[in-house]
Structure 1
Amino acid sequence: MRKTTSIIPSRFILSTLSAVIMAATLSGCLSGGGGGSSNDGSSSENPLKVTTQQGDYMGIEQDGMRVFRGIRYGVAERFATPVFPPAHADAIQLNETFGSSCPQDASPFGEASLDEDCLFLNVYAPEAPGEYPVMVWIHGGAFIYGSGGASYDPVRLVEQGVVVVTLNYRLGALGFLPHEALGDANFGLQDQQLALEWVQANIDQFDGDPENVTIFGESAGGHSVMSQLASPGAADLFHKAIIQSGSYNGAQVPLEDTPLGPDLNIPGGQSLFGLPTIAETDCSDSPDAQLLECLRGLSVRELLDAQPGNILPVTNTATLPRSINQALASGEFNEVPVMMGSNLDEGALFTLLEVQQGADFTTLAGYRAAVAKLLQEDPRLDAGSIGQHYLDQSIAANSPSPFADAHSAIGTDWRFNCPNNTQWNLLEDQVDTWGYWFTDRDAPSILGPLPISLGAAHSFEIQYVLSSEQTLKERGAGEDQLALAEHMARYWTNFAKYGDDPAIGPNGTDGAAEAVEWPHLTSGGKILRLDAPTPAAVDQSAFGTAHQCAYWENPPQLTLPR
């Protein structure tokens, strides 16, 4: 039986959380760093000067790193494939300022922006000259929010001897609006690929090794990493991949609808995201031949107001000819070593966000409505039966907030962890694979002070890799959390250094360099449970049992008309 962590213990807490989450912000909560030193591309007069194919840049020194913030890697007309920017003649002096975030509304995951000139990246390098592995971070935010800027501080990774790159990519309707008239509209994924091309062309000037590039990301960033595994356009642009909570929607959606029967379809991307967005604009009556021109004439504000609350890359396109799961199952993907995992309480964050949006988890009717909303993207699922199954378990576990905990568990198991388990099984026989399970229910809140604990919620593991020790302490991390963060930073950087050697992987060259050796995943094998203070190797089956993956292999479904 699932051991629950109560995320909403009372009606009073429900209203309090709503106020707290509206005030909370992730922007800056992981805070950025910087640095500087000599390298092969440096001027002898200024060790912080580097020469790229687009021109010279002058970085800064900060926190024992060389830091180069706000480098423009691409330019793009709206709804068009990005290209490298033109070269500049004079050296550009960089500072602590990041380049503009891509257009988005203010949210707990990023600051508001209306600036389409946003294709910037940031490079963080060790002070000492060398030839370092490269780690390229792709941020999350439901493909609607976020940036590669101040929310992420790579100082502890750089201290372990790697070069870290963070980047922006186009979001929302401007990055992913699916419609046949726009062609291959996965512009955000194309931006990521252009940034990786920039890395291949220039990272040696920052002492990075272009032949040893690891891409890593969380949530939409992890989904992006999986998409790049599936994308032919990303071939040879990276050599290892780390996916954090990115296994959701592995089937993705094709551009077109998928018929299920008379008058019943699984909606494709155009129906789910494209047409509803366009319907909210003055382009709603434009014929397809004139749609692109009309959309380019809208203001950024008009597009942001029209776009849906989340979006996905779509398949049956040049960037994604097939879905992530189809690519993995067929073996037609970019075969590199993979480290991937998810969190014990992924769904808790989303249950909290539903509360903020007015969901009622104090009544059975409110709970049923929330479960129906959660599962609505797949009309085949019997939301009533599934909701009752999880509610019965929550009540049997004596949860003080059974409706909220059951909703959180469905979101955890169905959306994240069982898809993760499926992708482990697809990968382990084809590429070297290492799996993790983040289970630290005492993780500090990244949302600021909350009257309850969200446990090992979605995104709460990021801070263990991409924040400073000071930030963790400020959030209330104890010695156990600091110890786990140190282990995780070393596992992540060891994988970047040695992941192409299955005998080493995330472990150090002296064997079990961390608290425990992370086992290579094989069929029926072991994964690493990341708990504080000491990780432990556990059976993959323990993960599958805890998240009811056997149940989700054949979940209750509605009888569809024939």
Structure 2
Amino acid sequence: MQSQNRTHPARFVLSSLAAVVLAVSLGGCLSGGGGSSSSNDEQPGPINRLQVSTQQGDYIGISDAGMRIFRGIRYGQAERFASPEFAPAHEPAIQLSDAFGSGCPQVASPFGAASVDEDCLFLNVYAPEEPGEYPVMVWLHGGAFIYGSGGATYDPARLVEQGVVVVTLNYRLGALGFLPHADLGNANFGLQDQQLALQWVQQNIDQFDGDANNVTLFGESAGGHSVMSQLASPGATGLFHKAIVQSGSYNGEQLPLPLGQLLFGNPTVAATDCATSTSDQLLACLRSQSVQDILAAQPGNILPVWGTAALPQSINAALASGDFNQVPVMMGSNRNEGSLFTLLALADDPTALDNPANYIQAVKGLLGENPALDAQQVAIDYLTRYADHPVPTLGAYNAIGTDWRFNCPNSNQWNLLQDQVPTWGYWFADEEAPPIEGLPSPFPLGATHTAELQYIFSSRGELIASGATDEQLQLADHMAAYWTNFAKYGDDPAIGPNATDGAAEAVEWPRLLAGGQVLRLDTPAPAAVAKSAFDATHNCAYWRSPPLL
């Protein structure tokens, strides 16, 4: 049996992996041909449910926590700054283990381990032990398009036990995945990686008892933005049938390739030894650079750009025109999205919010990507709005990051979607959510960016260890059921994320229509609330006509 180059799982932000118990689930069958048989007749051997045959070759997985687990399957390979291709065929069977494939190149962060391995296009499949034909959920991780992986952070046991197959995956990040430059051709290589993984799912997931005709693409933050980009991408047509977007509505206008090249591509190239390369020399030069040099040169944040074959138009333009992959969508964001980014900003400059003058400068930096905004007036308006907050500059800065960056763009995309495809909106609002492991904060983060992930991926034991209350444990159960019900029934607008008996023990989640309701995910129980309440809380009328210079 062959083995693959892989890294061992590490404890990341939200979850840790239990020790793996290797067990083989066997099922025998007897031949039933006509005529009599004798003890000398050959009988078929036992079926090894842990060995699967893909179009690239056989894999042997492991059994743990009630799942058949296949970690570290290489789905693709790619030359630097080139479109990916399927991995070559292999034989004999590859024995998999508890180790994940290498993460894509990135520097170390609370959201991912450092890596310089460009051989990183791996995926992981988690399937129920019982035979069946299960809905498939394909997870795209977050991390600002520069951090993260589909590895140990995301243990989907809570979802799999609901009767779905879950696939998590890596895609190229940072400049290696999204460097916007005309000389690189179809530059959204990370989006192309995601599409190749979805093609792999279409070709192979039946071997894992998954239904290739019932695939839900879901992701959070950069993963949610990726889901939205795949909705807008012609290359993803037919590769998924439902979409869940978690905190991914930001920057829906995206940048056209020429502007992205001006703001991100050219400065990155200028920071390498390729600064003086001509157009016909640039690709070869960039391929000659070390991974470390590329990582050192890349910007601190990056996004897919439109105007490429993978993304001909922006997300919002595609939604507004109706020219997108029209599948049912479940979408939402968190009550206090911005507080996590406030924490990170204060780590860089602990004095940033010490007084109104520093606060105004911090807001100007936050809003600087849109030079048309009158950032000083926004800062003043929000400081007035949060005058009664215990720390007004902190409350105002948190709210700007929440309302401007995430939640009002989310509201706008709800409006664009709801008349075209079945749409369900959520508002995660548990402001007492357990703290995020590895990110201590001197102020309450509330229902911050990423806070909902532990309710979907963390085990009951992990939630208890992090301080979850009985009501929060029940909310986690409800959320896992809503997410997997959507995967099962979301193509029926009368059911959506609800169970077939209405919603079982949870509140029924209404489909979002004009003037309608979204589901507030909070303790003591979820509740359907008017979308107008979401808009009012997040000052969305203000952001529809913000102060401009």
TM-score normalized with structure 1 length: 0.91
8 Å contact kept, 1:39–1:129: no
CA shift at 1:46, angstroms?
A: 2.2
Partner of residue 34, structure 2? none
8 Å contact kept, 1:26–1:110: no
Partner of residue 70, structure 2? 68
For 1:244-323, list aligned pairs within 5 A: 244-256=246-258, 268-323=259-314
- Measure, in 2, the Cα distance between the counterparts of 1:232 and 1:47: 36
Partner of residue 326, structure 1? 317
Q: 2:71 aligns to what SS in structure 1? A: strand
Note the alpha carbon deviations across 1:337-392, whole angstroms, 9 max, x for none: 00000000000000000001115111122111110011011110000000000011
Which letter does structure 1 place at the counterpart of 2:203? A
Which letter does structure 1 place at the counterpart of 2:169? L
- Measure, in 2, the Cα distance between the counterparts of 1:37 and 1:288: 56
8 Å contact kept, 2:213–2:241: yes
8 Å contact kept, 1:495–1:506: yes
8 Å contact kept, 1:39–1:130: no
- Measure, in 1, the Cα distance between the counterparts of 2:88 and 2:101: 17
Q: 1:281 aligns to what SS in structure 2? A: coil
For 1:128-139, list aligned pairs within 5 A: 128-139=130-141
- Measure, in 2, the Cα distance between the counterparts of 1:43 and 1:527: 53
- Measure, in 1, the Cα distance between the counterparts of 2:492 and 2:47: 40
Partner of residue 414, structure 1? 404
Which letter does structure 2 place at the counterpart of 1:289? D
Change over 3 Å in CA distance of 1:118–1:370 after alignment to 2: same
Question: Are 2:107 and 1:105 equivalent residues in the alignment?
Answer: yes
Note the alpha carbon deviations across 1:84-111, whole angstroms, 9 max, x for none: 0110011000000000000000001000
For 1:142-181, list aligned pairs within 5 A: 142-181=144-183
Change over 3 Å in CA distance of 1:361–1:447 after alignment to 2: farther
Change over 3 Å in CA distance of 1:531–1:39 after alignment to 2: farther
Partner of residue 439, structure 1? 429
Alignment coverage as a number of residue pairs: 520
8 Å contact kept, 1:32–1:152: no
For 1:22-101, list aligned pairs within 5 A: 27=12, 29-32=14-17, 37=25, 44-101=46-103
- Equivalent of 1:364 in 335, 356, 362: 356
Partner of residue 217, structure 2? 215
- Measure, in 2, the Cα distance between the counterparts of 1:31 and 1:91: 28
Question: Are 2:372 and 1:380 equivalent residues in the alignment?
Answer: yes
Note the alpha carbon deviations across 1:55-93, whole angstroms, 9 max, x for none: 000000111100000000000000000000110011000
Partner of residue 9, structure 1? none
- Equivalent of 1:517 in 489, 502, 508: 508
Q: 1:465 aligns to what SS in structure 2? A: helix
Partner of residue 547, structure 2? 556
Partner of residue 427, structure 1? 417
Change over 3 Å in CA distance of 1:65–1:378 after alignment to 2: same
Q: 2:427 aligns to what SS in structure 1? A: strand
Note the alpha carbon deviations across 1:105-137, whole angstroms, 9 max, x for none: 000100000000000000000010000000000
Which letter does structure 2 place at the counterpart of 1:405? G
Partner of residue 20, structure 1? none
CA shift at 1:245, angstroms?
A: 0.2
Partner of residue 123, structure 1? 125
8 Å contact kept, 1:100–1:117: yes
Change over 3 Å in CA distance of 1:386–1:56 after alignment to 2: same
Change over 3 Å in CA distance of 1:43–1:84 after alignment to 2: farther
Q: 1:349 aligns to what SS in structure 2? A: helix
**Which portions of structure 1, spanning 4 or more consecutive aligned residues, are displaced by more than 6 angstroms?**
33-36
- Measure, in 1, the Cα distance between the counterparts of 2:539 and 2:90: 56
8 Å contact kept, 2:515–2:532: yes
8 Å contact kept, 1:105–1:145: yes
CA shift at 1:315, angstroms?
A: 0.2
- Measure, in 2, the Cα distance between the counterparts of 1:230 and 1:535: 31
Note the alpha carbon deviations across 1:410-460, whole angstroms, 9 max, x for none: 010001000000000000000000000000001111134544320000010
- Measure, in 2, the Cα distance between the counterparts of 1:552 and 1:43: 66
Q: Which stretches in structure 1 are left out of the alignment for 5+ residues?
A: 1-24, 257-267
Q: Quick check: which has more Rg, 1 or 2?
A: 2
- Equivalent of 1:195 in 197, 205, 212: 197
- Measure, in 2, the Cα distance between the counterparts of 1:379 and 1:278: 24
Which letter does structure 2 place at the counterpart of 1:472? L
Which letter does structure 2 place at the counterpart of 1:431? V
Note the alpha carbon deviations across 1:475-529, whole angstroms, 9 max, x for none: 1111111110000000000000000001110000001224210001100000000
Question: Are 2:352 and 1:349 equivalent residues in the alignment?
Answer: no
8 Å contact kept, 1:126–1:163: yes
Change over 3 Å in CA distance of 1:298–1:39 after alignment to 2: farther
8 Å contact kept, 1:132–1:163: yes
Which letter does structure 1 place at the counterpart of 2:443? I
8 Å contact kept, 2:106–2:147: yes
- Measure, in 1, the Cα distance between the counterparts of 2:137 and 2:113: 24
Which letter does structure 2 place at the counterpart of 1:422? N
Once superposed, what is the RMSD of the aligned Cα atoms? Answer: 1.6
Partner of residue 477, structure 1? 468
Which letter does structure 2 place at the counterpart of 1:277? T
- Measure, in 1, the Cα distance between the counterparts of 2:505 and 2:184: 49
CA shift at 1:290, angstroms?
A: 0.3
* Greater RCO, 1 or 2 (C-alpha within 8 Å, sep 6+): 1
Change over 3 Å in CA distance of 1:328–1:104 after alignment to 2: same
Q: Report sequence identity in percent.
A: 68
- Equivalent of 2:381 in 374, 389, 405: 389
CA shift at 1:545, angstroms?
A: 0.5
CA shift at 1:38, angstroms?
A: 6.4
8 Å contact kept, 1:72–1:120: yes
8 Å contact kept, 1:177–1:273: yes
Q: 2:218 aligns to what SS in structure 1? A: strand
Change over 3 Å in CA distance of 1:114–1:479 after alignment to 2: same
Change over 3 Å in CA distance of 1:556–1:206 after alignment to 2: same
Note the alpha carbon deviations across 1:462-486, whole angstroms, 9 max, x for none: 1111111111111111111111000
For 1:493-508, list aligned pairs within 5 A: 493-508=484-499
Change over 3 Å in CA distance of 1:461–1:26 after alignment to 2: farther
Partner of residue 235, structure 2? 233
8 Å contact kept, 1:39–1:205: no
8 Å contact kept, 1:59–1:67: yes
Q: 1:556 aligns to what SS in structure 2? A: coil
8 Å contact kept, 1:347–1:457: yes
